[in-house]
Each structure stands twice: as C-alpha cells, then as structure tokens.
Amino acid sequence: MVGGSLSQWARDMGWAGIVVNGCIRDVEEINGCDIGVRALGSMPVRSSKVGIGEKHVPVYIAGTLIRDGEWLYADSDGIIVSKYELSI
C-alpha cells in the first residue's frame, strides 16, 4: 500500500510516478504531490509493514508482464507498457 509519505519520498527521489497493484491511502495528500500515482483503489486503513520486497523482478499486473527497464505511460484513461521509450 502506498500513502502520502511514500509518494513524497518517491517525488523527492525524482520518480515520475508509481503504479500500485493494490490500494493507496492518503488520497488527498497524494493528489497534492507532484507525482503520478495509479492504483486499483483506496483504503483508509494502514497496511502492516513487514519490511521486505524485491527489486528488478518482473511483475504481473492485470495479466500484463512488466519487466525491469520497460517504460510505463499513464493518464486518467489507463496505462500502457512499452519495451522502448516512446516519443510523445
């Protein structure tokens, strides 16, 4: 789950956005942050933190395999994934 603090951290690290295959919280705080966040929904309850995770591994989101190094483009209509940077 992503909340306001994590989205602020991502913005400070220079990230353009976050795609969450789950829920977010602190929606108003995230909307006020200069970073794009797309999620399946929102949830008012905090998640339990286990402190584990993986980097640079393929993930499936909504039946689509997304690999390290691929480009994600998102707007309010949806998300597309490309193996190459697209000229917009």
pLDDT tens sequence across 68-87: 999 999 888 988 999 999 99
Residue 26, annotated as binding a ligand: yes
Residue 67, annotated as binding a ligand: no
Residue 1 has pLDDT above 80, yes or no: no
What does the pLDDT read at residue 13?
Answer: 94
Residue 5, annotated as binding a ligand: yes
Residue 40, annotated as binding a ligand: no
Cα three-residue angle 43-23-50, rounded to 5 degrees = 95
Q: What is the pLDDT of residues 28-47, one digit of tens each?
A: 999 998 899 999 899 998 88
Between the CA of residue 21 and those of 2, 69, 87, 88, what are the distances in Å? 10, 18, 26, 25
What tokens appear for 35 in the block?
Answer: 């970073």
Chain mean pLDDT for the chain: 90
What does the pLDDT read at residue 88?
Answer: 78
pTM for the full model?
A: 0.79
